[in-house]
Chains A and B, each alone.
Chain A
Amino acid sequence: MKQLFAIFVSLVALVTYSQEYSYQYITQTQGLSNTFINSILQDDRGYLFVSTGEGIGIYNGIGVEMYYKKNKLVDDYVSASFKDSKGNLWFGHIQGGSSIFYENRFAHVFIGAGIGSQINDIDEDKGGRIWFVSQEYGLYYFTENNDKGFFSKPSSDRLYYSLHITEKDDFLLGTDKGIEVYNFTNDADGDHLNKVQNIGLSEEAQMASIIAVNGSLTFAISINGHAYKITNKNNIYKSERLQFFNLNSEIIVTEAYSAKGYLWISTLQNGLLKCSIQDDQIFIIEKYNKSSGLKTDAVNTSFVDREGVLWIGTFGEGLASKEEDLFTYYFIDKKINHPISAVLANKTNLFVAGKSKIEHFDKQNVFCYKAYDEQNGIPKDEITDLIFDKDSNMYIGTTLNGVYQLKKGEDQFNPIYISEDNLSKTIADLEIVENSLYIATLNGAYRYNLETGGVNIFNITTGLPHNAIGSIFKTKDNRVIIGTNSAFISEIKDETVYNYPIKDGIEVIEVNDIFDDENGDIWFSSNGSGIFKLGVKTCFNINTDFGIMSNYCNAIRINDLGNIWVSHNEGLSKISLADTSVQVFDQYFGLNYRFLRGAIDIVDNEIWFGTENGVVLYNSDKDFKNKVPPITSFKFLTINDSAHQIKDEIHLDYGTYKFGFGLAGLTLKGAKKVKYRFILEGYDEEWSPLTDKNSIYYTRMNEGEYTFRVKSFNADGTEGTEIQMKIIVAIPYWQTWWFFAACVVSIIALVFVIVKFRERSFIKYQEKLKRDLALRTREVVEQKNKIEAINKDITDSINYAQRIQGSILPADEYLEELFPESFIFFRQRDIVSGDFYWCGEMSGKQVIVCADCTGHGVPGGFMSMISHILLREALTEESLDNPALILQQINSKIVEVLKQTDDYESNRDGLDIAIIVQDKSNMKVKFAGAMRPLYIYRNGIRTIIKGDRNSLGGLQNGKIFETKEADVQKGDKLYIFSDGYADQFGGPHKSKMKIKVFQEAMDQFSQIPMKDQEEAFTTFFYNWKQDMTQMDDVLLIGIQI
């Protein structure tokens, strides 16, 4: 078994010698500051931490962001790193200090004062202490709680390089002179690091690494490449030297690392060695160094990430990554291109052909059995195809020299004659069908009988659409399909050519290659139009619209996974038969060389492609999806184009905003092909379609609650974690409940205040009013008292005046004497009156006067007094004969007495007057009236003797008064009166009585005895007046003849 394994490994070693891997490099171009890598780690978020001599680079799959001393690292030179059980990252520096990365930031742990020597290793004990190995100083530890302990030079004269804390919490300390075992105790006396033993080694060597491999084996390796298995029995550690099986040179080891069941040994002169440990031997399975395409042999460290990507920390060429190889590269010549124009493979053999050369390899070992060249009869020409018949004879096609045959067991190629035509010597394809060799030429398709040597030709004369044949293919059910440079794809069946239109039967399609799938469908590639599936009437076409790399398709094959593989000049396209989804492979996958047209072969799970420099092997066994979900994160957040701290929930003031979300789907495998789906809840109605945009912006975002949710998908479509961020833009304050509440409270408070204020003001006002009222009342009372006093004086005066005025009025007895049947209704409005009456007898004539002076009250009283005097002066015998003279005299006297003029400003006082002079002797009465009439009733008939239409006094304008004389009879009733009676307001309508009502009343009352008339007129007057104010002095005089 051991020998078999050794043989296997040695064969693998041969393979590795001949093949090259594709590496991706991260250098200054991606932002790495320094290409000397000291250690590599991946944090729980998926970021890669690359420690260098000039800071730490954090790689996110796209680029590197560097962190330095100014970013809180203790020093720029980072010599070691370690991820603890809690996910914190610890870093050791060249001058002995240490830094930590936690909560997404770096911080100092210990600046190294007093240590001064490089940290070479870091490990964690069972108590969570992080132990740092300082080269000259020894050990020190820190804990998350900032506890610390320092152990200077645990052994004298030793330098310290590596540390492994075992499951039993024993410290295996690698020094420059082997391994020491320590035991750490922590008791009341403090910390103790007690040396337990030295582990005997075969040398006193500097120990590069001590690690656990596969969880059970403890492995130590010195910088000289001496490897040891460390075992523990009865608490005694022992070492056992492990031999490298297939290492034939000295190595200088920088680090050993265990991952994926392998031991990864970094060396400075031999690159990275991928090893397995078997039967106490170390087998190098693969070498990643210059021989396998790595830019350098100096590897300082290595790391396998969570997606299985191998990271190689080189010393001088940056960080290299190597994914699981979908493609393997053979025969690449770095100096001159090594074109492979034809390739043929079976389970064990591989034939590659170029110009004038065919090489036969053992496929497994890539060991060249045999090479054929011009010495073997191959023409000096490019070989376009090669094929074997059932008898293992080989046939090759050439560009200009036709077909050659190499018979089994022979060493010499011989030409096969098929035609003299030169075009028939340009061979595009060969195909074996039963015992015939079909040859695709520019002169048609030839069929060469392998037994008889007979030749048939199929060309435009026999029904082919074109003589330039691109490909001939035998399907799984033995149909012979021919592709030409025409609008048709052809089939030879029973010696007859059948042509099927590719598109419309018009458009010319240059067919390059043909293949069939498991369902028997025939697919062919074209030069400029993509690939086609042969259909009944037309062909199904897949082109760049479907995502294939180019419409210029060289070779085509369909593999066991149901994928169509198409080679282009620039790379490969893989099309799924199931859903026609497309994946392209280009330089990113290391496909750096042009794929040649017919150089392809498929066998089992392998497809071999010939390129202008070497061969590319695709192995479908390695073609599996990366099912490790990418880790979604926010790369940045901008609000109004300014960077904003990323938080789960962000609150913004009311306003209009622009949100910018930077997305990261962290995968270190195909990072550039990460896609995203996102939704902004509160704005978007549904999730976005898949997009490769990693910066999403929303503009004019107003108040509301938004939740941005995003998911990432890796290159193989594996869905990553979903993350979200809530952004709440505040509603305007005037729409908030608290504002409403505040407003209500404020209004209530305001109302309350106003009410209180008004109440207080009102009270104050009331008090003021009270005070004012009291004051005013007092004033009023005083005034009242004054007025009352004055009024009393006035009233007394007026009353006295009334007495005086009354004294000028004739006594009732005198009136009755002169006019026995008479009455006087005299109601002055005030105490003194403007109306007055007078009666007298002169010269046997009885005179009675009714006067209505201007105004009433005191003025009227004055006027009445003046008028009375003037009246008395005017009464003469002469005037009694002509009462008009009385009026004239009074008139002129008033003007004189009152100094009246016709000026506008002069007073206009005067009086209306009616004077009756009765002369019983001749039963005549004479009447003179100024603005007052005389009513005479005889037998109930009213006769009105109008007075002159001039008042006495005031404007004169040539006033003329006239005396009227009337014969009277006994019983005639004569009435004179002032206007006060008829002007009184009242009655049912509160209106002026007017002369008409007065006349009607007089008409009625004149019928009753004189003595009763006073009462009648009185009653009528007061009934009319009711409670209304008397408007004027009232004087009514009635006499009966």
Chain B
Amino acid sequence: MKRIIILTTFSILISFSTKAQAVPAPEENIPFLVTFGKEAKKSFGDDDNCQTFFFSIPKSLSKPVYIRIFDPGTGGKHDEVYKAENTETSFQLYGGKGCISEKDARETDPKGNFKSGNLIHQKVFKNEPEYDDKWYTIGPLSPTQGEYSEEYFGNVFKLICEGTSGDDGNLYRYFLSTSPNENIPISGGNAFTFEYTFRLNAASNQISHIYPFVDDNVISIKQTNFDFDNDGSIELSSVVTKAYKLKMSGDNETAEDKYTVSPREKGTSLDIQLIKGTKKITNNNVVFYVTNQYGEALPFFAVPIGGTPKYSGKLSIKPIQKNK
């Protein structure tokens, strides 16, 4: 346990000293987050037309922060238009009490009081050329407007993206910035979600990474992926596991399987790799989440806690002959 705590703390310090609050993070190799309008078919790759991301601001920061959304509207250069550009997407930013501490907020499905906390800002985007391929900025925000959570390393804001109407797919990205006009990362900032809905790269053999964090209470995990279209393979790597094959889903299907967590994996992130196959499938959107043995969702951090897990092989233990 002591080793895990030390390792975790050390890893956190290392990872938080980096500055990467892009969502998805460059290391994840995920081109876009995606949310479809609520009239869209599930088979398009979004099971609930909603994506919640949390942004964590270190308590020590007392300067304004901004959450920037790239291409928040639907239509134009990046989005997946089904027939007509008829989709409205709502972005709602929450802070204050209950923002993250409310249990429903940490669920994978947008049910119950998942919109907990104080609504700080909301804006609905349609097909608006002025935001196409451009950044929209929310803020300035005071860090203390968020909900302070020691578990999630600071003041936490919650950004909910909902496809409130239409059937198109809204592809977007986030950035947690100190500037309203530029993407300047915050030292020690991070972003995380409990259910990841994203667009896979179109090119073959591209590997996307997502990093669920395994805390001390996790004994086993269950990974669930939806609508992977059997587009390649899904593997799990960690400090003790290398290329562990996970079940993958077909079109409009859900696949899940379990993985027992090694003690050495506690306090580290897992590296789940979605390895694109050679099917030339474009516009492949996937939903992914991981739960623990209690069915509680594990967070995927944009900046993996403990850093990207490096496989260090199996430990071999030899008895040492005692000196006589």
Chain A positions within 8 Å of B, measured between CB atoms, are 28, 34-36, 52-54, 76-77, 94-95, 116-118, 135-136, 159, 176, 268-269, 296, 298, 315-316
Contacts and interface: CB of A to CB of B under 8 A. Distances in A.
A118 B64 contact: no
Contacts of A76: 144
A36 B96 contact: no
B306 interface: no
A53 B144 contact: yes
Nearest to A117: B118
B323 interface: no
A291 to B, nearest CB: 15
B119 A315 contact: no
Contacts, number: 54
B96 A34 contact: no
Given A35-B62, A315-B140, A316-B64, 16 more contacts: A28-B62, A36-B64, A53-B145, A94-B95, A94-B118, A117-B96, A117-B118, A118-B118, A135-B119, A136-B119, A159-B119, A176-B119, A296-B64, A315-B64, A315-B142, A316-B142
11 contacts: A34-B142, A34-B144, A35-B63, A36-B144, A52-B144, A116-B97, A159-B119, A176-B119, A298-B64, A315-B64, A316-B63
Interface in B138-187: 139-140, 142-145, 180
B64 A77 contact: no
A53 B97 contact: no
Interface of B: 62-64, 95-98, 118-119, 122, 139-140, 142-145, 180
Contacts of B140: 268, 296, 298, 315-316
Given A35-B62, A94-B118, A118 B96 contact: yes
Contacts of B180: 269
B323 to A, nearest CB: 59
Nearest to A112: B97
Contacts of A35: 62-63
Nearest to B180: A269
A176 B115 CA distance: 16
Ranked 6 nearest A-B pairs via Cβ: A53-B144, A36-B142, A316-B64, A118-B118, A95-B97, A298-B140
B62 A135 contact: no
Contacts of A116: 97-98
Nearest to A94: B96
Contacts of A159: 119
A34 B62 contact: yes
A224 to B, nearest CB: 10
Contacts of A34: 62, 142, 144
Contacts of B97: 94-95, 116
A296 B180 CA distance: 11
A76 B147 CA distance: 12
A117 B113 CA distance: 13
Contacts of B64: 36, 296, 298, 315-316
Most buried by B among A52, A117, A159, A176: A117
A154 B283 CA distance: 45
B309 to A, nearest CB: 36
Most buried by A among B118, B139, B143, B145: B118
A94 B180 CA distance: 24
Interface of A is mostly: loop
Nearest to B116: A116
Nearest to A223: B121
Nearest to B178: A316
Contacts of A296: 64, 140
Contacts of B143: 53
Contacts of A53: 142-145
A12 to B, nearest CB: 27
A35 B62 CA distance: 7
A54 B145 CA distance: 10
A94 to B, nearest CB: 5
Nearest to A135: B118
A176 B118 CA distance: 13
B120 to A, nearest CB: 9
B51 to A, nearest CB: 22
A319 to B, nearest CB: 14
A298 to B, nearest CB: 5
B95 to A, nearest CB: 8
A893 to B, nearest CB: 139
B271 to A, nearest CB: 37
B59 to A, nearest CB: 11
A301 to B, nearest CB: 13
Contacts of B119: 135-136, 159, 176
A481 to B, nearest CB: 57
B68 to A, nearest CB: 14
A450 to B, nearest CB: 56
B63 to A, nearest CB: 6
Contacts of B96: 77, 94-95, 117-118
A599 B119 CA distance: 55
A296 B98 CA distance: 30
A531 B298 CA distance: 78
Contacts of A268: 139-140
Given A95-B96, A135-B118, A77 B63 contact: no
A135 to B, nearest CB: 6
Contacts of B142: 34, 36, 53, 315-316
Nearest to A315: B140
A79 to B, nearest CB: 9
Nearest to B142: A36
Contacts of B95: 94
Nearest to B63: A316
A117 B95 CA distance: 10
Contact of B144 (A28, A54, A136): A54
B137 to A, nearest CB: 9
B70 to A, nearest CB: 19
A35 B61 CA distance: 11
Contacts of A52: 144
Contacts of A117: 96, 118
A752 B63 CA distance: 84
A136 B99 CA distance: 13
Contacts of B118: 94, 117-118, 135-136
A54 B59 CA distance: 12
A111 to B, nearest CB: 12
A269 B140 CA distance: 9
A422 B36 CA distance: 82
Nearest to B95: A94
Contacts of A94: 95-97, 118, 145
A316 B143 CA distance: 10
A298 B98 CA distance: 26
A117 B97 CA distance: 8
A315 B64 CA distance: 7
B194 to A, nearest CB: 22
A54 B60 CA distance: 13
A775 to B, nearest CB: 101
A28 B139 CA distance: 22
Nearest to A268: B140
B134 to A, nearest CB: 14
A54 B62 CA distance: 10
Contacts of A176: 119, 122
B69 to A, nearest CB: 15
Contacts of B139: 268
A269 B137 CA distance: 11
Contacts of A95: 96-97
A298 B180 CA distance: 11
A205 to B, nearest CB: 11
A53 B98 CA distance: 17
A807 to B, nearest CB: 143
B126 to A, nearest CB: 15
